[in-house]
């Protein structure tokens, strides 16, 4: 499946919302009434305060991801010179076909193109084993010293980090 990775457009918002809802609900990470689902649903706010990117296959949206940087409203863990990606969602209809891997590879490629970015970070709940396997297979390493708990909940979030071998290091 050939994917096109591009910034979200306002016309994409409803489809990004659907993909994100279905991906999180299908995986059993949350129930529809969970407060975090409202955060995931607000694609408009994310697009205004972070970078939302989508993956298309044959003109159909199949995935979305949010990119953010230290100090920005959607950043939870990014340090200076680090890109953080969040809310990676792949349409359940195409899960298992390598779309998530392709999106993370695109995020890595994008990060390498940014001269100030030296690493990528991602937070993942301890119960998201499939995601952990994906990140580790692409070179991300656990950063347990940066793990944190969701405020007001008994949920531990793990941090994974990928140190970039920057092509621009010799610039």
β-bridge pairing 82-90 and 119-125:
parallel
Considering only CA atoms, which of 41, 29, 27 is closest in space to residue 153? Answer: 29
Classify residue 145 by its DSSP letter: G
Predicted TM-score (pTM) of the model is: 0.90
pLDDT tens column, 13-52: 999 999 988 888 777 666 667 667 687 788 999 999 999 9
- Domain covering 3-170 in this structure, CATH number: 3.40.630.30
End-to-end CA distance of the chain: 35
Residue 170, pLDDT > 80, answer no
Q: Contact 73/7 with Cβ under 8 angstroms?
A: no
Strand partners of residue 26: none
- The Cα–Cα gap between 166 and 171 comes to 10
Report the helix count and the strand count for the chain, using DSSP H and E.
5, 8
- The Cα–Cα gap between 64 and 7 comes to 9
pLDDT tens column, 136-149: 999 999 999 999 99
Considering only CA atoms, which of 81, 4, 78, 87 is closest in space to residue 39? Answer: 87
Per-residue confidence (pLDDT) for residue 34, from 0 to 100: 67
- The Cα–Cα gap between 121 and 115 comes to 16
Per-residue confidence (pLDDT) for residue 107, from 0 to 100: 97
Q: Contact 62/55 with Cβ under 8 angstroms?
A: yes
Rounded CA Rg of the chain? 15
């Amino acid at each position: 499946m050939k994917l096109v990775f591009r910034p979200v457009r306002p016309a994409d918002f409803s489809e990004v919302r659907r993909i994100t809802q279905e991906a999180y609900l299908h995986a059993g990470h949350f129930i529809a009434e969970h407060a975090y689902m409202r955060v995931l649903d607000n694609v408009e706010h994310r697009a205004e305060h972070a970078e939302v990117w989508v993956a298309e296959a044959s003109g159909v949206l199949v995935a979305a991801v949010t990119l953010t940087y230290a100090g920005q409203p959607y950043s939870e863990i990014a340090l200076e010179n680090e890109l953080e990606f969040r809310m990676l969602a792949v349409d359940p209809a195409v899960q298992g076909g390598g779309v998530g891997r392709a999106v993370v590879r695109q995020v890595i490629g994008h990060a390498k193109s940014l001269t100030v970015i030296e690493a990528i970070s991602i937070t993942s709940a301890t119960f998201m084993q499939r995601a952990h396997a994906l990140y580790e297979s692409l070179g991300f390493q656990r950063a347990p010293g940066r793990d944190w708990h969701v405020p007001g909940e008994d949920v531990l979030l793990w941090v994974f980090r990928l140190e970039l071998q920057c092509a621009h290091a010799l610039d």
